[in-house]
Structure 1
Amino acid sequence: MKKIQTLNALLWAILLLVVTYLFRDHEYAKFTGMIFILGYTASDLFLRRAFEQKAEKR
């Protein structure tokens, strides 16, 4: 699970950098960080729940 969480965090960090660069001159650029933090948190919670359900089935 640690490996998947690390890859998830790395993916979100790369996406944040790319989107921030692409929208650097846009008026919504200041909101990209908040949106990506919410997205990362949601995906992390989803992964944790999926692994917990998988562990319960065993």
Structure 2
Amino acid sequence: MTPKPQRASSLLLPHLERDQRVDAAALRAAMEAAFGASDATGAWTWKTADDACEAATVLFLRK
């Protein structure tokens, strides 16, 4: 099973591949899809979201 932050990174990668900005709305959507809950429930933090975004950037640069 894929760890949830890694799943969020893979959901963000297509945004970068399409040369789209990863804004707060895109980041929130990816995190909610990966974790199955919002940050308001405590399922994830914005620090974790930032880490997932950084990981997506690394995946993008590796391609």
Q: TM-score, normalised by structure 2?
A: 0.42
**TM-score, reference length from structure 1:** 0.45
